[in-house]
Structures are given as structure tokens and as C-alpha cells.
């Protein structure tokens, strides 16, 4: 199955789950209250995304200029940005996931898991076995050289032992 089919089926499943959850919530609390909650969460998402734009990145720049590590501010701003995007998407499932990105200690773990997934997904994609120079008669072997795409903020204790 190619990547476009996977993306299509993921979006299709997401839509069905969101519609099902919206119908169930609207049966329990009423359609207008459910629609009001979706609009309310979208407004909250807009406010979070707007606040992120103005504060978190400025804090990271201030920390960088003062010589302090910027990791915590960048992780916090990334988690708030992801939660703001998820709040802007209509649906109760995405709003529920967005709440996890707002919990202080859980957001560090979620960002760590996302970075770890991306590192594992892209490992080996940026390696080259040979390098052809401008001179067509010369070629260099570049073995055991890998490009680090993402460096994780936390050390993995299991790999060190």
C-alpha cells in the first residue's frame, strides 16, 4: 500500500470517528450544546495559538541570548502549538488529545515520543554510499557516515548500558 492510500484511509477513519463521537455526544447533551462546545474549543485553540506566537518563542530567544538552555521553552512552545492546532480542528477526539498536550509533565513526554518516532522513521534515509565528484573519474566511498536528522532532548538509558 503506498503512502497516499495510507493517508487517505487515515483521514477517512479520522472523519468517521469524529462524526460518530459528535453524534453520540449530541445525543447525550443535545445538538446545540455539542456544537457550542466545538465552537468554544475552537476559540480556545485560537487563543492558545495566538499566545504561543507572542510569548514562548520570545522566551526561547531571551534564554538563548542569556546563554541558558532553550530546550524547555521550545518543548513547551511546541506542545502548546500542537494543542492549539488540535483545538482548531473540529471534533471532540482532537480536543481530548489537545488537552494532553497542555498537561505540564505529560507534554514533555508526548513531544519526546513524537521526536523519537520521527528519528526512527527517518533513520537511514540520509545516508550515501558513494559520492561522485565533479571529475567523473574520481569517486569517494563514504561509509559509516550518517546524517542526524533529529537529536532527542533526553538520553535513552537503555542504549547506554
Region of poorest pLDDT, from 19-28, 103-112, 120-129, 151-160: 151-160
Q: How many CB atoms lie within 10 A of CB 100?
A: 15
Assign 54 a pLDDT band (cuts: 50, 70, 90).
low
Which strand (E) or helix (H) includes residue 139?
Answer: strand 139-141
82-115: pLDDT as tens digits:
888 888 888 899 988 888 888 878 888 888 888 8
- Name residue, grid cell 492549539: 84
2-40: pLDDT as tens digits:
878 888 998 999 999 999 999 999 999 999 999 999 899
Burial class (CB in 10 A: 0-12, 13-18, 19+), 26: middle
Q: Which range, 23-37, 40-54, 68-82, is most confident?
A: 23-37
User: Is this model's pTM higher than 0.85 or not?
Assistant: no
Amino acid at each position: 500500500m503506498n503512502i497516499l492510500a495510507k493517508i487517505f484511509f487515515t483521514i477517512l477513519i479520522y472523519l468517521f470517528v469524529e462524526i460518530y463521537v459528535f453524534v453520540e455526544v449530541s445525543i447525550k447533551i443535545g445538538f446545540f450544546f455539542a456544537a457550542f462546545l466545538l465552537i468554544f474549543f475552537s476559540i480556545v485553540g485560537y487563543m492558545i495559538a495566538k499566545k504561543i506566537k507572542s510569548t514562548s518563542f520570545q522566551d526561547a530567544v531571551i534564554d538563548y541570548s542569556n546563554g541558558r538552555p532553550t530546550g524547555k521553552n521550545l518543548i513547551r512552545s511546541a506542545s502548546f502549538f500542537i494543542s492549539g492546532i488540535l483545538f482548531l480542528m473540529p471534533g471532540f477526539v482532537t480536543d481530548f488529545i489537545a488537552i494532553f498536550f497542555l498537561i505540564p509533565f505529560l507534554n514533555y513526554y508526548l513531544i519526546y515520543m513524537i521526536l523519537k518516532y520521527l528519528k526512527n522513521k527517518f533513520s537511514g534515509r540520509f545516508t550515501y554510499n558513494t559520492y561522485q565528484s565533479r571529475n567523473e573519474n574520481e569517486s569517494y566511498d563514504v561509509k559509516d557516515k550518517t546524517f542526524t536528522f533529529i537529536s532527542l532532548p533526553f538520553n535513552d538509558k537503555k542504549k547506554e548500558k
